[in-house]
Chain A
Amino acid sequence: MSQILKSLKVPPNSASLEEARTRTFEFFRMCCRSIPHVMEVYNLHDVVSPSQLRSAAAAEVRKNANVTNPKVIDMLLFKGMEELMNIVNQSKQRHHIVGQYVVGNQGLVQDVSGKDRDASNFLKKFYSSNYS
């Protein structure tokens, strides 16, 4: 039995883009499945909803949508998996999750209205913070 297992080595890299794609989806699903547990252990119910966390995870994946090299995708998946493990194993603390995935990079004040779309760069920065 062990002989057979040894010979049946899983390829270290995705053979094709197609395989990398399916792996990516699997990874995303894994993230989604872990969300209820994450919400529980980090006590996130009062700050975020599961769907928001899901879209945060999706945004993290989409950030690298332009990558086409399967090797690179594998590497990114590895890093994503490492991050997921860290989160699920509570290697992080609540403020890490809140800072990285709930508040995100936008800061607490998120502009969704599109009111100052024609504002200058200066004004946009001015609204977000004194330093930028």
Chain B
Amino acid sequence: MGLGLLASRALRSSRIIRNSTRTIVSTPELKNADAAAAAAAADAPSDLPKRNPVGGARVHLPNPEDVIEVFVDGYPVKIPKGMTVLQACEIAGVDIPRFCYHSRLSIAGNCRMCLVEVEKSPKPVASCAMPALPGMKIKTDTPIAKKAREGVMEFLLMNHPLDCPICDQGGECDLQDQSMAFGSDRGRFTEMKRSVVDKNLGPLVKTVMTRCIQCTRCVRFASEVAGVEDLGMLGRGSGEEIGTYVEKLMTSELSGNVIDICPVGALTSKPFAFKARNWELKGTESIDVTDAVGSNIRIDSRGPEVMRVVPRLNEDINEEWISDKTRFFYDGLKRQRLNDPMIRGADGRFQAVSWRDALAIVAEVMHQIKPEEIVGVAGKLSDAESMMALKDLLNKMGSNNIFCEGNGMRPNADLRSGYIMNTSISGLEKADAFLLVGTQPRVEAAMVNARIHKTVKATNAKVGYVGPAADFNYDHEHLGTDPQTLVEIAKGSHPFSSALKNAKNPAIIVGAGVFDRDDKDAIFAAVDTIAKNNNVMRPDWNGLNVLLLNAAQAAALDLGLVPESDKCIESAKFVYLMGADDVNLDKLPDDAFVVYQGHHGDRGVYRANVILPASAFTEKEGIYENTEGCAQITLPAVPTVGDARDDWKIVRALSEVAGVGLPYDSLGAIRSRIKTVAPNLLEVDERQPATFSTSLRPEVSQKVSATPFTPAVENFYMTDAITRASKIMAQCSALLKK
């Protein structure tokens, strides 16, 4: 079965869930903005053909007084005050060539590629830096504008090497494209080209600094989005170059994004260097599962290999950035893979067997064991379908001991608002005070941290932090290391309480590391009190958040993966690990039978008696719910390796061999089963807010302990089976984590 067929199957089955097309932005006013832009363009003179905004650019007109009208190539366009000429042109449907301008970064105006002619202006103006004025007549297609661009292009190419054939950016290079579109067809350059020494920015970003055109996008990205002042501009004139001032590596968890924003091949991906050309790759739009953010990614694959991962635009979750872990963990998908079902023999050695034999053994053992001694553990990368199937299987066997690792043994799955990010990730931008409880967003969810950084940068929001000493890339107040601090804030005796009190939109973020603490209920009660005292939960603002760690957690709690007893591991005789590697099995009795179903030979397999190979998230279709309660779907990009099967299929087959057949045998059927349990999981790409607030939580008599909070993630680069198998991630943690 070919990949094409695979992809078409994936598309077909995903269509079952939602017939409407997937939109990038789900907020209704932004959707309507399209119509607003269209209406603005509609009253164009009838003799001119209609134009559409570039790339679906939207214009949002907040109040009618601030609207001005400009003319782009004769088209009247209504835009809000303060927009630049370039943005006005975009709304009018004219794409202005640019290198240094980036919509998410500050304006530099140093590449001069966006020159346009403005009537009554003696010289062409740089449109990205020029604010549009009422009645401005902008001309983008005149000989003067064309000549200006051609001249700029000639200057840019003067010192740009002619190494496109060996450049990794070749084929997706802005300079290449724009020199084809706007450049001259001949050169008059005969002198020598300048050359620049390459910089070492670490194991992820490769630099060929001779190719740099000094757009300073990377410098602005590093200081504005990543929050590290690592990069800068050195020298002036033709000696100008990008560098790190002193010899040092770029130590940001978002450093990979400079590869995407670099318009030329100066900053490229080091692991991807010379591996493939971008036109050979097949892109599959999928979801990242290495943390609970669920960043939207595109998996670029060639044949059976994942060649690279790049971000996809999603304003609500990751904007257009992704963390380094997401971007570079993909080589872990090719290493340490389980490809055959295996059984541990009497001598303790694993032996490859057929699926038939492996399932028969598991089914036989399962029947010999008392139902309450059967325990199922879902791993941190499990999709909702397989967790549903596993829970149904265990329930049919008579056991109800199933949980998802990371959720602790006494998870609170009753109130959805008690475990998701109620503010939503994009909603954090409205907050003006943050209280981080036992969470280090920088390592736990880098994209959420980027939002907080953006908010702090924009509004000078106050950030209070309770937890172990940690590295933040924005100003924060370290309030304390143990839960007692929370009690003080709740009482109002702590200095930070006034900051919370004065805030209009305070946001509290509790880390999922708290789930594993014994005094978790007391901590949540204290947080609830803080929330109540500071008006954190209002009808128009819900600032009480839980930041989860793993991709599977939210869906697991939605599906009710809660163990019957919190001592189930101690008394278990049969443990079914579905990709669970980080669950603590020290207390497991020695005679317990362990089945490991997963895709990587990681920690879990060493205790296993039977190994059932499963497919990784790049190889299957599955629903993942992110920390803000938005369900998203992964699509298969590459075929499974060896004799592996999809997770839910294994559970379904095992149920039949064990004689307790599950009533579904397709993804569609299993999803209709999910619909009866957690219908919100089928509302793909749309955030489902929690209906009931945590105020319904029962009273807690427990007291908080004095044990300090511990970091939930010790190593940002290695958190799960795939990232631990990755060589690049190992390099990163060796070099960047000192």
Interface residues of A (CB under 8 A from B): 109, 115-116, 119-123, 126-127, 129-132
A130 and B640 within 8 A (CB): yes
Q: Is B40 an interface residue (CB 8 A)?
A: no
B6 CB contacts on chain A under 8 angstroms = 131
Q: Are B649 and A115 within 8 A (Cβ)?
A: no
Distance in Å from the Cβ of B427 to the closest Cβ of chain A? 40
Q: A119-B656, A120-B656, A131-B6 are in contact. Are A126 and B355 (CB under 8 A)?
A: yes
Provide the residues of chain A in CB contact with B661, threshold 8 Å. 120
Chain B residues with CB under 8 Å of A120's CB are 656, 661, 665
Indicate the member of A121, A122, A129, A130 with the most B CB atoms within 10 Å: A130
B646 close to A (CB within 8 Å):
yes
Beta-carbon contact of A130 and B356 below 8 Å: no
Taken together as a complex, chains A and B put the C-alpha atoms of A130 and B10 apart, in Å, by 13
A-B contact pairs, 25 of them (CB 8 A): A109-B354, A119-B656, A120-B656, A120-B661, A120-B665, A122-B656, A122-B665, A123-B653, A123-B656, A123-B657, A126-B645, A126-B652, A127-B354, A130-B615, A130-B639, A130-B640, A130-B645, A130-B646, A130-B649, A131-B1, A131-B5, A131-B6, A131-B9, A131-B639, A132-B1
Question: Is there contact, CB below 8 Å, between A130 and B644?
Answer: yes
Q: Measured between C-beta atoms, what is the minimum distance from A129 to chain B in Å? A: 7
Q: Which residue of B lies closest to A131 (CB)?
A: B1
CB distance from B176 to the nearest CB of A (A): 38
Complex interface: chain A residues within 8 A of B649 (CB) = 126, 130
User: Which of B356, B645, B646 has a CB less than 8 Å from the CB of A116?
Assistant: B356
A-side contacts of B9, CB under 8 Å = 131
Closest A residue by C-beta to B356:
A127
User: In whole angstroms, what is the CA distance A33 to B6 when docked?
Assistant: 41
User: Please, what's the 1-or-0 string for B337-376, where 1 marks a CB less than 8 Å from any CB in chain A?
Assistant: 0000000000000000011100000000000000000000
Q: Which 9 A-B pairs have the closest CB atoms?
A: A122-B665, A131-B1, A126-B653, A130-B645, A130-B640, A123-B656, A127-B355, A123-B653, A126-B649
**Would you list which residues of chain B between 619 and 656 have a CB under 8 Å from chain A?**
639-640, 644-646, 649, 652-653, 656
Task: Provide the bound-state CA to CA distance between A122 and B651, in Å.
Answer: 12
Tell me the bound Cα distance from A123 to B649 in angstroms.
9
* Chain A residues near B652 (CB-CB < 8 A): 122, 126
- CB neighbours (8 Å) of A109 from chain B are 354
Which residues of A sit under 8 angstroms from B645, Cβ to Cβ? 126, 130
Rounded to whole Å, the gap between the CB of A117 and the closest CB of chain B is 13
B1 / chain A contacts, CB cutoff of 8 Å: 129, 131-132
Contacts of A119 in B (CB 8 A): 656
CA distance A121 to B356 in the complex (A): 14
Chain A interface helix/strand/loop/mixed = loop
User: In the complex, which residue of chain A has the Cβ closest to the Cβ of B2?
Assistant: A131
19 further interface pairs, Cβ-Cβ under 8 Å (given A123-B653, A123-B656, A123-B657)? A115-B356, A119-B656, A120-B656, A120-B665, A122-B653, A122-B656, A122-B665, A126-B645, A126-B653, A127-B354, A127-B355, A127-B356, A127-B653, A130-B639, A130-B644, A130-B649, A131-B6, A131-B9, A131-B639
Cβ-closest chain A residue relative to B646? A130
A124 to chain B, nearest CB (A): 10
A123→B1 CA distance, assembly (Å): 18
Bound state CA distance, A131 and B4, in angstroms?
12
Interface residue ranges of B554-582 to A (CB < 8 Å): none
Least CB distance, A110 to chain B, in whole angstroms: 12
Complex interface: chain B residues within 8 A of A131 (CB): 1, 5-6, 9, 639
- In the assembled complex, the Cα of A120 lies from the Cα of B355 at a distance in Å of 15
CA distance A109 to B353 in the complex (A): 12
Listed in ascending order, the chain B residues whose CB lies under 8 Å from chain A are: 1, 5-6, 9, 354-356, 615, 639-640, 644-646, 649, 652-653, 656-657, 661, 665
Q: Which residue of B lies closest to A126 (CB)?
A: B653
**Once the chains are docked, how many angstroms separate the CA of A116 from the CA of B657?**
10
Which A residues lie within 8 Å of B354 (CB)?
109, 127
Within the complex, what minimum Cβ distance (angstroms) separates B359 from chain A? 9
CA gap between A129 and B644 in the complex, in Å: 9
Q: Which residues of chain A come closer than 8 Å to B657, judged between CB atoms? A: 123
CA distance A129 to B652 in the complex (A): 14
A115 to B6, CA, bound (A): 29
Residue in B closest to A128 when the chains form the complex, CB atoms: B355
The closest CB in chain A to the CB of B653 belongs to A126
Residues of chain A within 8 A (CB-CB) of B615 are: 130
Min CB gap A114→B, angstroms = 12
Roughly how many angstroms separate A120 CA and B669 CA in the complex, as a whole number? 16
Tell me which of A120, A129, A131 has the highest count of chain B C-beta atoms within 10 A of its own C-beta: A131
Closest to A119 in B: B656
Can you name the residue of chain A whose Cβ is closest to the Cβ of B9? A131
In the assembled complex, the CB of A130 is this many whole angstroms from the nearest CB of chain B, namely 5
Which of the listed residues A120, A122, A132 has the most CB atoms from chain B within 10 Å of its own CB?
A: A122
- Taking the nearest CB of chain A, how far is it from the CB of B13, in angstroms? 12
CA distance in complex: A127, B649 (Å): 10
Q: Which residues of A contact B640 (CB under 8 A)?
A: 130
> Given the complex, which residues of B lie within 8 Å of A132, measured CB to CB?
1
CA distance A127 to B653 in the complex (A): 9
CA distance in complex: A115, B657 (Å):
12
Q: Chain B: which residue is nearest A109 at the CB level?
A: B354
A27 to B653, CA, bound (A): 45
A39 to B528, CA, bound (A): 79
Chain A residue at minimum C-beta to C-beta distance from B614: A130
Q: Name the residue of chain B whose CB is nearest to the CB of A122.
A: B665
Q: How far is it, in angstroms, between the C-alpha of A1 and the C-alpha of B657 when the chains are bound?
A: 75
A123 to B354 CA separation, bound complex (whole angstroms)? 13
Assembled-state Cα–Cα distance A70/B675 (Å) = 57
| Alpha-carbon distance between A130 and B644 when the two chains are bound, in angstroms | 7
Cα-based distance from A112 to B6 in the complex (angstroms): 29
* Chain B residues, CB < 8 A from A123: 653, 656-657
Shortest distance between the CB of A125 and any CB in chain B (Å): 9
Which chain A residue lies CB-closest to B619?
A130
Closest CB in chain A relative to B613 CB, distance in Å: 10
Would you give the shortest CB distance from A10 to chain B, in whole angstroms? 43
A126–B647 CA distance with the chains assembled, in angstroms: 12
**Measured CA separation A116–B363 after assembly (Å):** 15
Rounded to whole angstroms, the CA-CA distance of A109 and B341 in the bound complex is: 14
The closest CB in chain A to the CB of B662 belongs to A122
Which chain B positions have C-beta within 8 A of A129?
A: 1
CA distance in complex: A124, B113 (Å): 62
Q: How far is the CA of A123 from the CA of B651 in the complex (A)?
A: 11
**Complex Cα spacing A60 to B661, Å:** 37
The residue of chain A having its C-beta at the shortest distance from the C-beta of B615 within the complex is A130
Give every chain A residue within 8 A of B656 (Cβ-Cβ): 119-120, 122-123
Q: How far is the CA of A109 from the CA of B640 in the complex (A)?
A: 17
Q: How far is the CA of A120 from the CA of B615 in the complex (A)?
A: 22
Complex CA gap A119/B356 in Å reads: 11
- How far is the CB of A122 from the nearest CB of chain B, in Å? 4
Chain A residue nearest to B643 in the complex (CB)? A130
- Which residues from chain B contact A122 at a C-beta distance below 8 Å? 652-653, 656, 665
Q: Which residues of A contact B639 (CB under 8 A)?
A: 130-131
Contacts of A115 in B (CB 8 A): 356
